[in-house]
């Protein structure tokens, strides 16, 4: 299958599973920030969705799909003879569709079972796309071009956080977490002496909202 097709199929499976098993499955939506100084504004964003099997006990497996997007720091090359003049600018945008599976260990940390510690080791499969916009300055002439590259990264990640239930008569809850990812964007970033993107073991923070259309019985 081509890039991004696996993610589309997985998304359809997630939606169908939620519709058929609403009493057993919680859907969730999330947003987060990955911290990385190779990127503009020192990081890139992610949006997530997925389902959690709301089983009894402390293991609550999840399937998750995330969309990452951000821009690398602008890469400017200056003229050798006159260092005050630019000879080339490269603007690189990165995006990735990433799906994950995790056993999601959830342990109560208070007597009323309103707060839980969440430990989520993840297996990640990311389909990555990089788009370079190149501007060449040749005297008074400006030449513009664009190049697109794609690749796949398989990796492991880890989320650690605290889940708080919103009210007793529903399953709704919010997860506040920090995470570590090691998605390898270098597979699609064009390597030059000026560009060295370190994307291993990125740290970040995330907010996730779990919800169900059914109340507790």
Average pLDDT for the chain: 82
Write out pLDDT tens, residues 104-136.
999 988 887 788 999 999 999 999 999 989 999
Residue 178 is predicted with a pLDDT of 95
Mind giving me the DSSP string for 93-152? EEEEEEEEEE--EEEE-STTS-EEEEEEEEEEEEEEEEEEEEEEEETTEEEEEEEEEEEE
40: tokens are: 């503009």
Secondary structure (3-state) at 189? coil
- Minimal CA–CA distance to 14: which of 53, 58, 59? 53
**CA-to-CA distance for 33 and 42, rounded, in angstroms?**
10
Residue 81 is predicted with a pLDDT of 82
Partners of residue 208 on adjacent β-strands:
30, 175
Q: Please, which pLDDT band fits residue 83 given cuts at 50, 70 and 90?
A: confident
Write out pLDDT tens, residues 175-210.
999 998 888 788 787 665 555 566 666 789 999 999
DSSP at 72: B
DSSP at 184: -
CB of 112 within 8 A of CB of 73?
A: no
Mind giving me the DSSP string for 46-78? EEEEEEEE--SSSB--EEEEEEEEEEBPPEEEE
Angle at 113 between CA 46 and CA 175, to 5 degrees: 5
**CA-to-CA distance for 93 and 90, rounded, in angstroms?**
10
Residue 105 is predicted with a pLDDT of 93
What domains can be seen in the chain, in order of their start residue?
A: 2-211 (2.40.160.20)
Whole-structure pTM value? 0.79
Write out pLDDT tens, residues 27-43.
999 999 998 888 888 88
Write out pLDDT tens, residues 148-164.
989 998 989 999 999 99
- Minimal CA–CA distance to 199: which of 212, 180, 171, 179? 180
């Amino acid at each position: 299958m081509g890039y991004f097709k696996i993610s589309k199929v997985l998304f359809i499976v997630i939606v169908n599973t939620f519709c058929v098993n609403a009493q057993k499955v919680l859907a969730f939506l999330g947003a987060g920030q990955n911290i990385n100084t190779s990127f503009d504004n020192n990081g890139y964003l992610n949006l997530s969705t997925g389902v959690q099997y709301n089983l009894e006990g402390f293991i609550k497996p999840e399937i998750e799909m995330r969309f990452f997007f951000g821009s690398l720091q602008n890469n400017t090359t200056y003229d050798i003879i006159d260092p005050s003049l630019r000879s080339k600018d490269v603007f690189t945008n990165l995006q990735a569709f990433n799906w994950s599976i995790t056993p999601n260990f959830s342990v109560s940390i208070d007597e009323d079972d309103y707060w839980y510690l969440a430990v989520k080791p993840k297996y990640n499969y990311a389909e990555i796309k990089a788009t370079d916009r190149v501007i060449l300055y040749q005297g008074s002439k400006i030449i513009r071009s664009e190049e697109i590259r794609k690749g796949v990264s398989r990796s492991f990640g880890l989320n650690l956080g605290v889940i708080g239930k919103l009210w007793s008569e529903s399953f709704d809850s919010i997860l506040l977490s920090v995470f570590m990812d090691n998605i390898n964007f270098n597979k699609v970033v064009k390597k030059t002496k000026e560009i060295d993107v370190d994307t291993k073991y990125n740290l970040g923070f995330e907010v996730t909202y779990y919800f169900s259309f059914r109340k507790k019985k």
